[in-house]
Structure 1
Amino acid sequence: MNHVIAKLRLRKGSESSKLKKVLSNVTLYTLPNDLANNIVYDPGTILDEGEWFSISEFSQKPFFLQFLADYTDSVAYEQLEVNQISNIDYICTCENANVFYFQRITKTQLLEKKVITIGDQFRYNANSKNIVVNDTADAIYVKEDDTLYFKKLSAITGIFKGIDQLFREATTAETETFLAKDFIRLENNFSANDVKQANRKRIALAMATLNNFDDEQKNTVFDTVKEYCPQLVADDNTFKIETENDLTLLLYGIDQRFYTTPDGKEKRIANSVIRLGAAV
């Protein structure tokens, strides 16, 4: 049996008390035909049309929602009241206690307008309240496989609190620490205040990458950056960073995105990366 439940934003009360029943015996979504085309989530990967990101063993993750483990078709929730729709955080369609479709509800999906309803006959409603249902769910959790599927991480951070740690931004302190590394020389008054969101995310990834490298791996990566970006090499053999673009190139190098075409004629930067073994 299918049920649609809503998660409310409430200041007090247990998590279960924030879940309300909206509808039963309706089908808002069906499993996409292309769900098998999924790639293990990696912030360095850009999806092609018809692809999904996936996170396996989702129930073991710190941002897993407990109600997914506890849910059964017999679970009873209080009915959502009309005056509560402005407090909806997200809706979840529960299909046979196995497949859960999530949609974040933003202000643009809550419509309170005068409308003319088209059905068997035209009807005028001076105080219509509607929840707009997207064609595709923001996230799909298949309990049987314990896997979450999604297309945009930013679309589900409000549903699964903490999942943004998969692609978090470096803090100002972390950015300053990175820029103070002995292989970097700042010039032209460049500082952490000049680092925008995209590079803060890359810095968070780069710091994790470097922490997993031994000295030989670091030297290999830095030598590659020097080969592909000689303009970054300072007189003391460090990398001089004067602009955001300089920093971007260095971070791409640490992420090992530089490569040369097989015929050796063209040097390139990979805009998206899929690690072998990451595709399902």
Structure 2
Amino acid sequence: MGLLLARKKIDKEYYIIDNVQEETYNIPEDICNNSISFDPNTKLEANEWYYLNNFSAENYFLRIMNRVISTAEYNRLTEVNNTDIDVIVERRNHFVFFQKITASKVIYSKKFCHFLENGCGIREETDSIEIAVIPSIIYNQIEDKLYFRKFSDLTTIFDGIIELYREATDAEVMAFFNLDFINTVDFTVDDVKTENRKRISMVRQEMGEWTDAERQTVMRYIHEYAIDISYENGRFLIHNDRELRLLMWGLELRFYRTIVGDKKYIANSVRSIE
């Protein structure tokens, strides 16, 4: 038996809907082997999922995800419009399933005509919410792993999780511009757009783990591939957001050269094969 709950938009609290005998959501086949550790630089293939390890140790872990909860702590859902609900949760066995409810999932009252051999039948459906076969998010309590496909689904449900994929602040962008291999020309912190701010946020952490030798190797690598960026006195001259994007791609090690034809390319997704 599973426990079905819903979250109201107005107060972000979870309410008990009912105990359910049938399974509300399906678990994707072989999700353990079709999942990769979350990396904003990696794009999922078909049927793949991201996962986050040791999720119960994070500040944004919800008490509703604990192995044991007291139903007495949750009020029962009564007299609520379907448009007031933004999340549905099912607890079943050692899984917790989340479905993000968007406006497209709310079905308003409709009448349907079914044509039969000897006439037709009219059936009326009241307001309802469409339940997805596969949920937006799956938490496995035994593995302590959170599985998901879209990071935007997480930000709706888990307050603070945006830190995993946030934009760099003005101070962090300025600190990045002050590094000894960058020189901006008529290009300020205010000119940096969202995509590059997120890349700066991710790359700064990665660079902190490089040795001096690795850092020099990366600088030579960027100089070789990012030929559209001017280079003077050991610094890359950044005039605009496009040149900054090229520099960020270099710091993410996205450039590569084909074995046949010796052509240079930029990878649109980066994935470890170790």
TM over 0.5: yes
Please report how far the alpha carbon of residue 171 of structure 1 lies from its aligned counterpart in structure 2 after TM superposition.
1.5
> What does residue 104 of structure 2 align with?
108
Secondary structure at the counterpart of residue 100 of structure 1? strand
**Residue 137 in structure 1 maps to residue 135 in structure 2:** yes
Contact in 2 for aligned 1:89/1:105 (Cα 8 Å): yes
> What does residue 4 of structure 2 align with?
4
Identical columns (%): 32
**Residue 26 in structure 1 maps to residue 1 in structure 2:** no
Q: Using the alignment, how far apart are the partners of 2:218 and 2:225 within structure 1? A: 11
The residue type paired with residue 101 of structure 1 is F
Q: Using the alignment, how far apart are the partners of 2:199 and 2:162 within structure 1? A: 14
**Residue 82 in structure 1 maps to residue 79 in structure 2:** yes
Summarize deviations over 1:229-263 as a string: whole Å, max 9, x none.
Answer: 13313332311112222111111111112222234
Following superposition of structure 1 onto structure 2, how do residues 184-223 of structure 1 map, counting pairs within 5 Å? 184-187=182-185, 189-223=186-220
Contact in 2 for aligned 1:54/1:150 (Cα 8 Å): yes
The alignment's C-alpha RMSD in Å is 2.4
> What does residue 221 of structure 2 align with?
224
TM-score, length of structure 2 as denominator length: 0.87
Summarize deviations over 1:87-137 as a string: whole Å, max 9, x none.
Answer: 4331111112x11110112333334x3311679963446xx4322222321
Any stretches of 5+ residues in structure 2 without a counterpart? 115-119
Q: Using the alignment, how far apart are the partners of 2:177 and 2:85 within structure 1? A: 42
Q: Using the alignment, how far apart are the partners of 1:149 and 1:140 within structure 2? A: 5
Contact in 2 for aligned 1:34/1:51 (Cα 8 Å): no
Contact in 2 for aligned 1:92/1:101 (Cα 8 Å): yes
Summarize deviations over 1:67-101 as a string: whole Å, max 9, x none.
Answer: 211535x73543211326444331111112x1111
> What does residue 238 of structure 1 align with?
235
Contact in 1 for aligned 2:67/2:141 (Cα 8 Å): no
Contact in 2 for aligned 1:34/1:50 (Cα 8 Å): no
> What does residue 38 of structure 1 align with?
35
Q: Using the alignment, how far apart are the partners of 1:133 and 1:237 within structure 2? A: 57
Q: Using the alignment, how far apart are the partners of 2:192 and 2:113 within structure 1? A: 52
TM-score, length of structure 1 as denominator length: 0.85
Secondary structure at the counterpart of residue 127 of structure 2? strand
Of residues 172, 175, 192, the one that matches 2:173 is: 175
> What does residue 144 of structure 2 align with?
146
> What does residue 91 of structure 2 align with?
94
Please report how far the alpha carbon of residue 147 of structure 1 lies from its aligned counterpart in structure 2 after TM superposition.
1.1
Secondary structure at the counterpart of residue 177 of structure 1? helix
Greater Cα offset, 172-181 or 247-256: 172-181
Any stretches of 5+ residues in structure 1 without a counterpart? none
Q: Using the alignment, how far apart are the partners of 1:237 and 1:218 within structure 2? A: 13
Contact in 1 for aligned 2:4/2:88 (Cα 8 Å): yes
Greater Cα offset, 134-143 or 176-185: 176-185
Please report how far the alpha carbon of residue 43 of structure 1 lies from its aligned counterpart in structure 2 after TM superposition.
1.0
> What does residue 117 of structure 2 align with?
none
> What does residue 266 of structure 1 align with?
263
Please report how far the alpha carbon of residue 19 of structure 1 lies from its aligned counterpart in structure 2 after TM superposition.
2.1
